Structure 1
Amino acid sequence: MAIEADGRLVGSTGVHRIGQHPLGPEVGYWIAPQGRGHGYAAEAAHAMAEWAIGLGAPRVYLVADVANTGSQHVARRAGFHQEGVLRSYLHYRDGGLADAALFSRLPGD
């Protein structure tokens, strides 16, 4: 789903792995550099989590590279709680691996 501000595309968000992952549906997002710092990502992640939970998901999760403190801040602002770190979870196109901070939201969070 597109994230738009003032008629401009500033990012994208979505819910992935619905019914396919033991942690529940995964919330994802990206924000273009010119759209960062305005709260768009937190608003979008919160909305996607609410949507999935509203459809009956008992939990939703998201992951952020442990080096990406900005994305971790977004997760917290969107109402997610950090559960831990998944070691070598992220696989990058260049073949690299990175640890991921795991966040979740439950109904009522």
Structure 2
Amino acid sequence: MLEFYAPGFSWEVRTHYNGDRTVIEGRLTLRAAEGNFVREATGTEDNEIDSWGDPSSNAEAMALRRCCAKFGLGLHLLGEIARIALNTLLHLKQTYLDTKLHKINCVELETDFENHQP
């Protein structure tokens, strides 16, 4: 996505070790006719990780994501996430209301049945 919207971008990193953490300082430069635009961010990771990846690549990915976010890249994804969340909430609300209505109808039927017993 970055290569599509900002061909010729530049990504630089500096690695630091702070105790038991790896810290990556990232610098993303987007080149445009108006000049260069720069955003910087950091990413960190424990040196002893039990998850996927290694400390330096995880920290670098975090720094790159943060730089991209500072440029506003990926904001369209937030709209999609919000739409999915709203649809899920509406579905849950409708399911809840349908369940309540079903229970009310069952109580009314039981009451009608009891009232019409000989």
Task: Report the TM-score, using the length of structure 1 for normalisation.
Answer: 0.29
The structure that is strand-richer by fraction is 1
Higher relative contact order (CA 8 A, sep 6+): 1
The structure that is helix-richer by fraction is 2
Task: Report the TM-score, using the length of structure 2 for normalisation.
Answer: 0.27
